[in-house]
Protein backbone atom coordinates (compact mmCIF):
# COMPACT_ATOMS: atom_id res chain seq x y z
CA UNK A 1 0.00 0.00 0.00
CA UNK A 2 1.17 3.51 -0.76
CA UNK A 3 2.01 5.59 2.27
CA UNK A 4 3.31 9.10 2.59
CA UNK A 5 6.64 9.48 4.42
CA UNK A 6 6.35 10.23 8.13
CA UNK A 7 8.54 12.76 9.86
CA UNK A 8 8.54 11.36 13.41
CA UNK A 9 8.50 7.59 13.54
CA UNK A 10 9.56 5.99 16.81
CA UNK A 11 10.10 2.27 16.24
CA UNK A 12 7.87 0.02 18.35
CA UNK A 13 5.20 2.66 18.86
CA UNK A 14 2.32 2.97 16.35
CA UNK A 15 2.43 6.18 14.32
CA UNK A 16 -1.01 7.31 15.39
CA UNK A 17 -0.02 7.22 19.08
CA UNK A 18 2.76 9.69 18.38
CA UNK A 19 0.41 11.80 16.29
CA UNK A 20 -2.26 11.77 19.01
CA UNK A 21 0.28 12.97 21.55
CA UNK A 22 1.45 15.72 19.18
CA UNK A 23 -2.16 16.81 18.63
CA UNK A 24 -2.78 16.82 22.37
CA UNK A 25 0.31 18.94 22.97
CA UNK A 26 -0.79 21.43 20.29
CA UNK A 27 -4.35 21.66 21.65
CA UNK A 28 -3.30 21.91 25.29
CA UNK A 29 -0.59 24.51 24.73
CA UNK A 30 -2.89 26.55 22.49
CA UNK A 31 -5.65 26.55 25.10
CA UNK A 32 -3.11 27.39 27.81
CA UNK A 33 -1.88 30.39 25.82
CA UNK A 34 -5.43 31.54 25.08
CA UNK A 35 -6.42 31.13 28.72
CA UNK A 36 -3.44 33.18 29.91
CA UNK A 37 -4.00 36.10 27.58
CA UNK A 38 -7.75 36.72 27.56
CA UNK A 39 -8.74 40.10 26.13
CA UNK A 40 -12.02 41.99 26.06
CA UNK A 41 -11.61 42.58 22.33
CA UNK A 42 -10.53 39.09 21.20
CA UNK A 43 -7.89 38.36 18.61
CA UNK A 44 -8.21 35.77 15.86
CA UNK A 45 -7.31 32.72 17.96
CA UNK A 46 -9.43 33.73 20.92
CA UNK A 47 -12.42 34.42 18.67
CA UNK A 48 -12.11 30.93 17.24
CA UNK A 49 -12.12 29.37 20.72
CA UNK A 50 -15.08 31.53 21.71
CA UNK A 51 -16.89 30.55 18.53
CA UNK A 52 -16.58 26.85 19.36
CA UNK A 53 -17.85 27.33 22.93
CA UNK A 54 -20.76 29.56 21.92
CA UNK A 55 -21.72 27.22 19.08
CA UNK A 56 -21.60 24.19 21.38
CA UNK A 57 -23.66 25.96 24.01
CA UNK A 58 -26.25 26.88 21.37
CA UNK A 59 -26.53 23.38 19.89
CA UNK A 60 -26.72 21.74 23.33
CA UNK A 61 -29.55 24.06 24.29
CA UNK A 62 -31.37 23.56 21.01
CA UNK A 63 -31.05 19.77 20.75
CA UNK A 64 -30.89 18.47 24.34
CA UNK A 65 -32.50 21.32 26.29
CA UNK A 66 -31.56 22.98 29.55
CA UNK A 67 -30.01 19.84 31.02
CA UNK A 68 -27.50 19.77 28.15
CA UNK A 69 -25.18 22.30 29.77
CA UNK A 70 -23.19 19.64 31.66
CA UNK A 71 -21.98 18.12 28.36
CA UNK A 72 -20.31 21.35 27.24
CA UNK A 73 -16.72 20.45 28.29
CA UNK A 74 -16.84 17.02 26.67
CA UNK A 75 -18.47 18.03 23.40
CA UNK A 76 -16.38 21.20 22.96
CA UNK A 77 -13.16 19.27 23.52
CA UNK A 78 -14.37 16.69 21.00
CA UNK A 79 -14.76 19.47 18.45
CA UNK A 80 -11.30 20.90 19.09
CA UNK A 81 -9.49 17.57 19.29
CA UNK A 82 -11.08 16.10 16.16
CA UNK A 83 -10.61 19.29 14.17
CA UNK A 84 -6.93 19.52 15.02
CA UNK A 85 -6.28 15.83 14.47
CA UNK A 86 -7.96 16.08 11.05
CA UNK A 87 -6.04 19.19 10.09
CA UNK A 88 -2.64 17.85 11.16
CA UNK A 89 -2.88 15.37 8.27
CA UNK A 90 -2.62 18.24 5.77
CA UNK A 91 0.91 19.06 6.95
CA UNK A 92 3.48 17.03 4.97
CA UNK A 93 5.25 14.55 7.22
CA UNK A 94 2.33 14.08 9.58
CA UNK A 95 -0.75 11.86 9.44
CA UNK A 96 -4.10 12.33 11.13
CA UNK A 97 -4.66 10.26 14.29
CA UNK A 98 -8.24 9.88 13.06
CA UNK A 99 -6.94 7.98 10.04
CA UNK A 100 -7.03 4.77 12.08
CA UNK A 101 -10.25 3.29 13.36
CA UNK A 102 -8.77 2.91 16.87
CA UNK A 103 -8.93 6.63 17.64
CA UNK A 104 -12.41 7.15 16.22
CA UNK A 105 -13.72 3.98 17.88
CA UNK A 106 -12.46 5.23 21.24
CA UNK A 107 -14.27 8.53 20.73
CA UNK A 108 -17.47 6.83 19.57
CA UNK A 109 -17.38 4.42 22.53
CA UNK A 110 -17.19 7.35 24.94
CA UNK A 111 -20.38 8.76 23.40
CA UNK A 112 -22.07 5.33 23.36
CA UNK A 113 -21.34 4.51 27.00
CA UNK A 114 -22.09 8.03 28.20
CA UNK A 115 -25.41 8.30 26.36
CA UNK A 116 -26.76 4.99 27.66
CA UNK A 117 -25.45 5.63 31.16
CA UNK A 118 -27.09 9.04 31.34
CA UNK A 119 -30.32 7.65 29.87
CA UNK A 120 -30.36 4.90 32.49
CA UNK A 121 -29.61 7.40 35.23
CA UNK A 122 -32.44 9.70 34.16
CA UNK A 123 -35.22 7.23 33.37
CA UNK A 124 -34.17 4.35 35.70
CA UNK A 125 -35.99 1.09 34.75
CA UNK A 126 -38.25 2.90 32.28
CA UNK A 127 -35.25 3.33 30.00
CA UNK A 128 -35.21 -0.40 29.27
CA UNK A 129 -38.79 -0.12 28.03
CA UNK A 130 -37.45 1.71 24.99
CA UNK A 131 -35.88 -1.53 23.81
CA UNK A 132 -39.16 -3.46 23.92
CA UNK A 133 -40.77 -1.66 20.99
CA UNK A 134 -44.31 -0.33 20.72
CA UNK A 135 -46.26 -3.59 21.17
CA UNK A 136 -45.69 -5.97 24.07
CA UNK A 137 -46.61 -8.99 21.90
CA UNK A 138 -43.77 -8.24 19.51
CA UNK A 139 -41.25 -7.68 22.33
CA UNK A 140 -39.11 -10.82 21.77
CA UNK A 141 -38.41 -9.85 18.15
CA UNK A 142 -38.25 -6.13 18.76
CA UNK A 143 -35.66 -6.46 21.52
CA UNK A 144 -33.18 -8.02 19.07
CA UNK A 145 -33.89 -5.38 16.45
CA UNK A 146 -33.65 -2.51 18.93
CA UNK A 147 -30.40 -3.79 20.45
CA UNK A 148 -28.93 -4.21 16.98
CA UNK A 149 -29.87 -0.72 15.88
CA UNK A 150 -28.47 0.64 19.14
CA UNK A 151 -25.23 -1.25 18.48
CA UNK A 152 -24.99 0.01 14.92
CA UNK A 153 -24.85 3.64 16.09
CA UNK A 154 -21.30 3.69 17.53
CA UNK A 155 -20.09 1.67 14.55
CA UNK A 156 -21.47 4.10 11.99
CA UNK A 157 -20.33 7.01 14.16
CA UNK A 158 -16.74 5.76 14.25
CA UNK A 159 -16.66 4.44 10.70
CA UNK A 160 -17.82 7.67 9.08
CA UNK A 161 -15.04 9.80 10.53
CA UNK A 162 -12.38 7.14 9.98
CA UNK A 163 -13.40 6.36 6.39
CA UNK A 164 -13.60 9.97 5.27
CA UNK A 165 -10.28 11.00 6.76
CA UNK A 166 -8.54 7.82 5.58
CA UNK A 167 -9.94 8.23 2.07
CA UNK A 168 -8.81 11.82 1.68
CA UNK A 169 -5.30 11.09 2.95
CA UNK A 170 -5.00 8.06 0.68
CA UNK A 171 -6.36 9.93 -2.32
CA UNK A 172 -3.82 12.74 -1.98
CA UNK A 173 -1.01 10.17 -1.70
CA UNK A 174 -2.17 8.29 -4.79
CA UNK A 175 -2.64 11.47 -6.82
CA UNK A 176 0.84 12.58 -5.84
CA UNK A 177 2.24 9.50 -7.57
CA UNK A 178 -0.04 9.68 -10.62
CA UNK A 179 -0.27 13.41 -11.40
CA UNK A 180 2.36 15.24 -9.41
CA UNK A 181 2.10 18.70 -7.86
CA UNK A 182 -0.92 20.53 -9.32
CA UNK A 183 -3.88 18.18 -8.84
CA UNK A 184 -2.85 17.03 -5.32
CA UNK A 185 -2.61 20.67 -4.25
CA UNK A 186 -6.23 21.22 -5.30
CA UNK A 187 -7.25 18.07 -3.45
CA UNK A 188 -5.43 19.24 -0.34
CA UNK A 189 -7.42 22.44 -0.50
CA UNK A 190 -10.59 20.35 -0.59
CA UNK A 191 -9.21 18.28 2.26
CA UNK A 192 -9.33 21.26 4.62
CA UNK A 193 -13.02 21.70 3.84
CA UNK A 194 -13.78 18.02 4.52
CA UNK A 195 -11.73 18.15 7.73
CA UNK A 196 -13.98 20.88 9.07
CA UNK A 197 -17.12 19.14 7.79
CA UNK A 198 -16.30 15.75 9.33
CA UNK A 199 -15.35 17.26 12.69
CA UNK A 200 -18.66 19.13 12.68
CA UNK A 201 -20.67 16.03 11.71
CA UNK A 202 -19.06 13.87 14.40
CA UNK A 203 -19.65 16.59 16.98
CA UNK A 204 -23.29 17.09 16.02
CA UNK A 205 -24.01 13.35 15.95
CA UNK A 206 -22.52 13.00 19.45
CA UNK A 207 -25.03 15.60 20.69
CA UNK A 208 -27.89 13.93 18.80
CA UNK A 209 -27.10 10.47 20.20
CA UNK A 210 -27.03 11.82 23.74
CA UNK A 211 -30.30 13.65 23.11
CA UNK A 212 -31.94 10.50 21.70
CA UNK A 213 -31.26 8.49 24.84
CA UNK A 214 -32.26 11.35 27.14
CA UNK A 215 -35.66 12.04 25.58
CA UNK A 216 -38.60 10.46 27.34
CA UNK A 217 -40.96 7.90 25.87
CA UNK A 218 -44.13 9.65 27.05
CA UNK A 219 -43.30 12.79 25.13
CA UNK A 220 -42.84 10.74 21.94
CA UNK A 221 -46.26 9.13 22.33
CA UNK A 222 -47.82 12.50 22.96
CA UNK A 223 -46.36 13.74 19.70
CA UNK A 224 -47.74 10.72 17.89
CA UNK A 225 -51.23 11.47 19.12
CA UNK A 226 -51.12 14.92 17.53
CA UNK B 1 -28.07 28.28 7.62
CA UNK B 2 -31.22 27.13 9.33
CA UNK B 3 -30.49 25.11 12.48
CA UNK B 4 -33.39 22.71 11.86
CA UNK B 5 -31.96 22.04 8.41
CA UNK B 6 -28.50 21.20 9.81
CA UNK B 7 -29.99 18.82 12.37
CA UNK B 8 -32.06 17.08 9.71
CA UNK B 9 -29.08 16.66 7.38
CA UNK B 10 -26.93 15.17 10.13
CA UNK B 11 -29.63 12.79 11.29
CA UNK B 12 -30.61 11.66 7.82
CA UNK B 13 -27.03 11.21 6.62
CA UNK B 14 -26.45 8.59 9.30
CA UNK B 15 -29.38 6.44 8.19
CA UNK B 16 -27.91 5.00 5.00
CA UNK B 17 -24.81 3.78 6.78
CA UNK B 18 -26.95 2.29 9.56
CA UNK B 19 -28.61 -0.22 7.20
CA UNK B 20 -25.29 -1.62 6.05
CA UNK B 21 -23.70 -1.68 9.48
CA UNK B 22 -26.60 -3.36 11.24
CA UNK B 23 -26.63 -6.01 8.50
CA UNK B 24 -22.92 -6.58 9.08
CA UNK B 25 -23.41 -6.80 12.85
CA UNK B 26 -26.19 -9.35 12.25
CA UNK B 27 -23.92 -11.31 9.95
CA UNK B 28 -21.13 -11.41 12.53
CA UNK B 29 -23.47 -12.52 15.33
CA UNK B 30 -24.90 -15.22 13.04
CA UNK B 31 -21.45 -16.37 11.96
CA UNK B 32 -20.28 -16.93 15.53
CA UNK B 33 -23.57 -18.57 16.53
CA UNK B 34 -23.16 -20.96 13.57
CA UNK B 35 -19.62 -21.73 14.61
CA UNK B 36 -20.78 -22.38 18.16
CA UNK B 37 -23.81 -24.55 17.36
CA UNK B 38 -22.46 -26.35 14.30
CA UNK B 39 -25.16 -25.29 11.84
CA UNK B 40 -24.20 -24.21 8.33
CA UNK B 41 -25.62 -20.79 7.29
CA UNK B 42 -28.81 -21.07 9.40
CA UNK B 43 -28.08 -18.30 11.91
CA UNK B 44 -26.14 -16.24 9.38
CA UNK B 45 -29.24 -15.91 7.21
CA UNK B 46 -31.61 -15.30 10.12
CA UNK B 47 -29.45 -12.68 11.81
CA UNK B 48 -28.54 -10.89 8.58
CA UNK B 49 -32.25 -10.50 7.83
CA UNK B 50 -32.87 -9.28 11.38
CA UNK B 51 -29.99 -6.84 11.08
CA UNK B 52 -31.31 -5.52 7.79
CA UNK B 53 -34.77 -5.04 9.26
CA UNK B 54 -33.20 -3.26 12.21
CA UNK B 55 -31.69 -0.76 9.78
CA UNK B 56 -35.01 -0.30 7.98
CA UNK B 57 -36.83 0.05 11.32
CA UNK B 58 -34.42 2.80 12.34
CA UNK B 59 -35.25 4.70 9.13
CA UNK B 60 -38.97 4.20 9.76
CA UNK B 61 -38.65 5.56 13.29
CA UNK B 62 -36.65 8.59 12.21
CA UNK B 63 -39.01 9.49 9.36
CA UNK B 64 -42.03 9.09 11.60
CA UNK B 65 -40.45 11.41 14.13
CA UNK B 66 -39.50 13.93 11.47
CA UNK B 67 -43.04 14.02 10.08
CA UNK B 68 -44.51 14.45 13.55
CA UNK B 69 -42.30 17.37 14.45
CA UNK B 70 -42.94 19.12 11.13
CA UNK B 71 -46.77 19.25 11.40
From B20's Cα to the closest Cα of chain A, the distance in A is 9
Give residue A1's pLDDT band: very low, low, confident or very high (50, 70, 90). Answer: low
Residues of A in contact with B71 (CB under 8 A): 226
Does residue A72 sit in helix, strand or coil?
helix
> How many beta-carbon pairs under 8 angstroms link A with B?
65
Using a cut of 0.90, tell me whether the model's pTM lies above it.
no
Give per-residue pLDDT as tens, A150-194.
888 888 888 888 988 888 888 888 888 888 778 888 888 888 888
This model of the complex carries an ipTM of 0.72
Residues of B in contact with A159 (CB under 8 A): 17, 21
C-beta atoms of A156 and B21 within 8 A: yes
Residues of B in contact with A208 (CB under 8 A): 7, 10-11
Cα-Cα end-to-end distance for chain A? 56
> pLDDT tens per residue, chain B (71 residues)?
566 777 777 777 778 888 888 888 889 888 998 888 888 888 889 889 988 888 888 888 888 877 876 54
How far is A187 from B59, CA to CA, in rounded Å?
33
Please give the residue of chain B at the shortest CA–CA distance from A226: B68
Measured over the CA atoms of residue A194, residue A195, residue A196 and residue A202, the dihedral's sign is positive
Please give the residue of chain B at the shortest CA–CA distance from A197: B10
Residues of A in contact with B21 (CB under 8 A): 152, 155-156, 159
Give per-residue pLDDT as tens, A114-124.
988 988 888 88
Identify whether the C-beta of residue A94 lies closer than 8 Å to the C-beta of residue A6: yes
DSSP string spanning A169-202?
HHHHHHHHHHS-SHHHHHHHHHHHHHHHHHHHHH
Could you say which of A148, A152, A204 has the minimum Cβ distance to residue B10? A204
Q: What does the pLDDT read at residue A226?
A: 37
Identify whether the C-beta of residue A161 lies closer than 8 Å to the C-beta of residue A78: no
Residues A70, A75, A80, CA angle at the centre, nearest 5°? 140
Q: Where are the domains of chain A?
A: 15-225
Residue partners of A105: CB distance under 8 A and separation at least 6: A154, A158, A162
Identify whether the C-beta of residue B29 lies closer than 8 Å to the C-beta of residue B47: yes
Residues of A in contact with B68 (CB under 8 A): 223-224, 226
C-beta atoms of A201 and B53 within 8 A: no
Give residue A113's pLDDT band: very low, low, confident or very high (50, 70, 90). Answer: very high
Cα–Cα distance list, A112 to A33, A37, A66, A106, A216 (Å): 32, 36, 21, 10, 18
Residues of B in contact with A68 (CB under 8 A): none
Q: Where are the domains of chain B?
A: 17-70
Interface residue of A156, A196, A205, A208 to substitute, partner B, most B CBs within 10 Å: A156
Give per-residue pLDDT as tens, A199-215.
888 888 888 888 888 87
User: Which among A106, A93, A75 has a CA at the least distance from the CA of A199?
Assistant: A75
User: Which among A19, A159, A180 has a CA at the least distance from the CA of A90?
Assistant: A19
Length of chain B: 71
Amino acid sequence: MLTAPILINIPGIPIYWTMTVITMIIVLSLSFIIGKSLKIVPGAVQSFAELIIIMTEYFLKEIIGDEGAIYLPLIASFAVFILFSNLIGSIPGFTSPTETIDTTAALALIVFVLSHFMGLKKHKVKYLKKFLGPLIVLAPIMIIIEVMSALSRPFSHALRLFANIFAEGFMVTVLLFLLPWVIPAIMMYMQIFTDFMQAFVFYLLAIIYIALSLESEEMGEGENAL
Amino acid sequence: MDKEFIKQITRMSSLGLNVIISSIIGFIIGYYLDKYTGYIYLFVIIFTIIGFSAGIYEIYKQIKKELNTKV
